């Protein structure tokens, strides 16, 4: 699993300047910081807590409550497999297993080369298309393990490099 990378905190200054001394801006500041860094490193959370004069425990409370926030670096490609009931009975476990074996990671992890993050989510609201996988924000329905491995091969080709084990 990928570890936290070196963080340039200077990038936060633009975000702080945008929100000035307003109160109640924790969530928009966190969203802007995540857009800047791709995730929310611990050093960034500490800097935000200090600047906004909010307890660090409260910042972590918000970040861990909302699924939109990420505490770990994410891959260039994010694959989200739905394992809600409809998708589960139509084959998600085999899709996840195929992706885990191919990428050499477990669901919830990112490959060491930062190419892929694999996630399992629960009902994306497109049950009629089950099993559903979202690849870089694009919803794919009726997915099979074989189709997913072709998608990975195509993304590898687009990146100009292979990934995973």
What is the binding site for ligand FES (CB under 6 A)? Answer: 82, 84-87, 123-127, 130, 132
76: phi then psi, degrees, rounded to nearest 5 = -65, -30
State the nearest-atom distance from the C-beta of 36 to ligand FES, in Å.
Answer: 31
State the nearest-atom distance from the C-beta of 129 to ligand FES, in Å.
Answer: 7
Q: How many CA atoms lie within 13 A of 9 on its CB side?
A: 10
Q: Which one, 128 or 158, has the nearer CB to ligand FES?
A: 128
Bond into 131 cis (ω within 30): yes
Q: Which one, 25 or 87, has the nearer CB to ligand FES?
A: 87
Q: Which one, 18 or 85, has the nearer CB to ligand FES?
A: 85
Q: Which one, 84 or 164, has the nearer CB to ligand FES?
A: 84
Residue with tokens 């801006």: 25
123, 90 contact by CB (below 8 A) = no
Buried b (16+ CB within 10 A) or exposed e, 47-61: bbbeebebeeeebbe
Give residue number: closest CB to ligand FES: 84
State the nearest-atom distance from the C-beta of 8 to ligand FES, in Å.
Answer: 38
């Amino acid at each position: 699993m990928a570890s936290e990378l070196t963080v340039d905190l200077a990038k936060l200054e633009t975000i702080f300047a945008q929100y000035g001394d307003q109160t109640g801006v924790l969530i928009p500041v966190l969203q802007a910081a995540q857009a800047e860094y791709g995730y929310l490193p611990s050093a960034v959370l500490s800097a935000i807590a200090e600047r906004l004069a909010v307890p660090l425990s409260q910042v972590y409370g918000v970040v861990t409550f909302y699924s939109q926030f990420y505490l770990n670096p994410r891959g260039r490609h994010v694959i989200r497999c739905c394992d809600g009931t409809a998708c589960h009975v139509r084959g998600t476990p085999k899709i996840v297993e195929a992706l885990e074996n191919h990428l050499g990671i477990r669901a919830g992890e990112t490959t060491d080369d930062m190419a892929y993050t694999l996630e399992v989510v629960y009902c994306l609201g497109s049950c009629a298309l089950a099993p559903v996988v979202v690849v870089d924000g694009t919803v794919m329905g009726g997915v099979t393990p074989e189709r997913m491995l072709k998608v990975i091969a195509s993304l590898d080709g687009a990146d100009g490099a292979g990934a995973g084990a």
